[in-house]
Amino acid sequence: MPILQVVVLAVVQGLTEFLPVSSTAHLYLTSWLLGWQTEALQFDIMLHIGTLLAVLIYFLSDWVQIVGQGFGIRTGTNPDLKHNHMLLWLMAIGTVPVAVAGVLFNKQAETAWRNPFVMGAMLVAIGALMWFAESAGRKERDLATVNLPDSLAIGAAQALAVVPGCSRSGITITAGLFRNLNREAAARFSFLLSTPAIGGAAAKTLWDMHKQHLLHGLVTTQFVVGVGVSALTGCLVIAWFLHYLRRYGLRPFAYYRIIFGIIVIALALIRPPA
């Protein structure tokens, strides 16, 4: 894969993975319109590792505190996390639905569902749901109040993200708003909850590559550049988005999703994918 293609797709991944707009749809549309082919497993692991590094680096101190408190060790100074010692186990429970969905529907997600009509429909549907959540949610709770029903509801929502076009961050933040979390708390819990799911997806891809004897040629210049660019872009986007949510709502992203979804469907009708 040419370096330019790697950099462009890594930037697209970093920009769209943590914004509620669907990285899968943007990556697919970019490659489709530019006529680019990707080496599926190598490309997937590059983006998974870059995305995983972004959340681990940005939330490193939070993760140290969450894990420590989960095992009864007092550590860290984040007051919201300090008052929720069960957060590690709540996230473990919340990860179960997406793990089950990944096992059951991974084949469909990578084949039949990966088409512009499904992606466009999901962009529009989740965009409308996000718009409604902005009005319905009371936005009065923080991470200190996250409980088992929240974990189950947001975890179940994350399972829907196996459908291309849904957006992991989009659907989980929306679920958080419906659970009356404030915008920043919903986003932070969404990003923290995504960490084990992304790590699991990366591990599965590595295992698939091992079975196909592809690991020996994994670490190349393109791979290092792709991981680095997507990780750096992802960290910057997380920082900007959390700052944005302290002052503004999700409606601009809802409008963007709906318009983008309509464009994707229209392009698919005009220029059907091969």
Q: Which residues make beta-bridge pairs with 141?
A: 181
Q: Please give the mean pLDDT across all residues of the chain.
A: 91
List CB contacts of 208: < 8 A, sequence separation 6 or more: 41
Place of tokens 């080496």: 39
| Rounded CA separation 108/139 (Å) | 35
State the pLDDT at residue 248. 95
How far is residue 5's CA from residue 173's CA, in Å, rounded to a whole number? 30
Q: Which of 3-7, 134-138, 210-214, 234-238 has the highest mean pLDDT?
A: 234-238
Q: How far is CA 86 from CA 62, 70, 151, 152, in A?
A: 14, 6, 11, 14
Q: Can you give the residue range of the structural domain that contains 143?
A: 3-270
Q: What is the mean pLDDT of residues 227-238?
A: 96
Tokens read off for 167: 């957006």
Closest CA relative to residue 186, chosen from 127, 225, 137, 257: 137
Q: What is the pTM of this model?
A: 0.93
DSSP string, 13-61: HHHHHTTTT-HHHHHHHHHHHHT----HHHHHHHHHHHHHHHHHHHTHH
Residue 181 in 3-state DSSP? strand
Domain count, the chain: 1
Residue 201 has pLDDT above 90, yes or no: no
SS in 3 state form for 125-157?
Answer: HHHHHHHHHHHHCCCCECHHHCCHHHHHHHHHH
pLDDT at residue 41 above 80? no
Tens of pLDDT, residues 82-107:
889 999 999 999 999 999 999 899 88
The greatest distance separating any two alpha carbons of the chain, rounded to the nearest whole angstrom, comes to: 59
Confidence class for position 270, pLDDT limits 50, 70, 90: confident
Tell me: pLDDT of 36 over 70.
yes
- Can you give the pLDDT at residue 148? 97
For residue 191, what pLDDT is reported?
97
